[in-house]
Amino acid sequence: MTTRRDPTIRLLPTGVPGLDAVLGGGLPEYSFNLIAGGPGGGKTTLALQIAFSRASVEAPALYFTVLGEPPLKMLRHAQQYSFFDKAKVGKAVRFVNLSAEAMDKDLGSIMKRMLAEVEEIHPAIVVVDSFRTVAHASGSETDLQAFVQRLALHLTGWQATTFLVGEYETETAESHSNPIFTIADGILWLTQRIERTASVRRLQVTKMRACATMPGLHTLSLSLDGVRVFPRILPRGEPRPHRRGSARASTGVEGLDAMMSGGIPTGESALFVGPSGSGKSLFARHFIAAGAEAGEPGVLVVFAEHPEEHLSRASAFGPELASFIERGLVEVLYLRSLDLTIDEALAAVRLAVERKKATKVAIDSLSEFELALVPSSRDDFREALFRSVSALTDLGVTLVMTVHVVQSFTELSLSPHLTEFMTDVLVLQRYVEIDGKLEKAVAVVKMRDSSHDTSIRRYSIEGGGIVVGETLRGYGVLNGIPDVRAEGGAPLPGMTGDEAALLQHLGELGEADARTLSRRTGMKGATLSLALARLEHLEYATTKRRKGVTLYCTTTQKSTGVVARGAGAQRETQHRARQS
């Protein structure tokens, strides 16, 4: 076991929200840095924000402007930002114009002027904006390299942390050959990219000596508060602590809690999947209200409606949240703004969780969440969702999400984008037609490391909210078309060939897990899950757990004589297929 030594390089806070996290704690003191990127990326704003944040009368900042903007023009723009402090100008933050020296294209006079100013005020921060203009004054690459090396040596000797600001494009010949990229201790690269109709700014720390920086591209926003960086949130490296036997978070619906053996295990995630109008938002509201009733703060994240509109519409059915909001137990977070990045959205949710000290979060819904994201995040929504679930459950909150699916009456869809595997709990909502009426059915499809009721139950939406009723017996309803069973439980010829084959193999094996049955039958994914659920619902199979693995077994009395008939049905189906 090795003991980590105390760091010898002091890390300086930048005063830019989110940037210190990306840098691994802050900027190395006395480092020589380059802030690079194309026009409009936020380079000058970032340099000004760091300068005003760090500067004091005892440790001033010296800001050199060249040909880009004279100090008066820069100050006029800078004073629009909240970080600008007029009292610091000329004292803690001093601006010096090098335009005359740069126009003479004399690197020697530029160096002489800069060193004279540095020696006079002994700055802690030095900014040269734009350094690329200085570079153009050099006669050759050798002259530029000598100038940069001398400048870095002098400023480090004066114990100044330095920023050279320049317009450079990524992956160009200049970015590979320019000596500044080699000599610099750190490189902050700012980019601005058009994604269809959206404009996205990002920051990347491509180099920072002696720092464990966060890899990848991080979203950057510009506002009247200046620059804000949204660190790219990554899943935790270590596993979450095992919670076997831990407490449950009530869903707020008594019948559903009973199906879940008490509710959702605390600190886990649940996904409610259903078609439009099936009550997904109401389930989310029940969940948040149940926590507030128990004194547990919660955050409800909505995208389609403003909070006031959402609460007004919600008052017609189910629990009202207005009183809990007034008491500070619930916050409705509205993320309507289009072209969000996943990191901006997660940062807003995390801040709300911290404000309320929330233990419950509901996102309603993932379908609207996807529409609010920039195109690059929509292109791989599964990656965005995976990071979202990991980041929020890592905070220790219990998470409920809803998602819309278009209901098919010929196959079972558990979620769009094949995202059902990312959550710990999966609840399926369906429409079914029974006796000429449109009914709603709910089933708990999975709960990791927890037993649950596998029955399919009716539920209704009433004035007080959702009421889960009795098990739907005598029907196979997962495909939305009721398959009526004969009186006494005997199966009718409606059993599919796949189901008959599955029952036959299960009868031969006695008991088997899903992986074994998949190998024996060739059935996979949702097809196998649907067939097993049908056999359980028709009471031809049961489940039990052994060493953490779910095993399927035949119910001997009901299965006797059915296996042969099932195989016959399979042969009949195959014969019809050959004829067609």
DSSP state of 522: -
Beta-bridge partners for 228 = 221
CA–CA dist 247, 259 (Å, integer): 16
The whole-number pLDDT of residue 230 equals 93
Beta-bridge partners for 362 = 300, 400
CA–CA dist 304, 301 (Å, integer): 10
Of residues 549, 541, 551, the one with CA closest to residue 507: 541
CA–CA dist 129, 49 (Å, integer): 13
CATH class for the domain made up of 497-579: mainly alpha
CA–CA dist 193, 196 (Å, integer): 10
Per-residue pLDDT of the chain (580 residues; tens, 9 = 90+): 445 555 578 999 999 999 999 999 999 999 999 999 988 899 999 999 999 999 999 999 999 988 666 788 888 889 999 999 999 999 999 999 888 877 777 788 888 888 999 999 999 999 988 787 776 666 667 777 888 888 888 888 888 999 999 888 765 555 556 778 888 899 999 999 887 777 889 999 999 998 889 999 999 999 999 999 999 876 555 555 555 457 899 999 999 999 999 999 999 999 999 999 999 999 999 999 999 999 999 999 998 778 888 777 777 778 989 899 999 999 999 987 667 888 888 889 999 999 999 999 999 988 888 888 877 766 667 777 888 888 888 888 999 999 988 765 545 556 566 667 788 999 999 988 777 788 899 999 999 878 899 999 999 999 889 999 999 876 655 654 555 444 444 444 446 667 877 888 888 888 999 999 988 888 888 888 888 888 888 778 888 888 888 999 887 544 544 444 444 444 444 444 444 4
DSSP state of 417: G
Structure tokens at 345: 């959205």
CA–CA dist 94, 63 (Å, integer): 6
Q: Do 11-230 and 248-471 come out as alike in CATH topology?
A: yes
Spell out where 176-308 has E strands.
186-195, 198-208, 218-223, 226-230, 248-249, 264-265, 269-274, 298-302
**Number of neighbours of residue 512 by Cβ within 10 angstroms:** 17
CA–CA dist 97, 478 (Å, integer): 74
Of residues 157, 146, 216, the one with CA closest to residue 180: 146
CA dihedral (206, 208, 212, 214) in degrees, to 10, reads: -30
pTM: 0.72
Instruction: Please answer whether residues 475 and 538 qualify as being in contact, where contact means their C-beta atoms are separated by less than 8 angstroms.
Output: no
Of residues 310, 294, 356, the one with CA closest to residue 330: 356
Structure tokens at 251: 């869903």
The whole-number pLDDT of residue 54 equals 95
- For domain 11-230, the CATH superfamily is P-loop containing nucleotide triphosphate hydrolases (3.40.50.300)
Instruction: Please answer whether residues 25 and 214 qualify as being in contact, where contact means their C-beta atoms are separated by less than 8 angstroms.
Output: no
Parse the chain into domains and list their residue ranges: 11-230, 248-471, 497-579
Structure tokens at 382: 């599964």
Return the CATH architecture of domain 248-471.
Answer: 3-Layer(aba) Sandwich (3.40)
CA–CA dist 161, 145 (Å, integer): 19
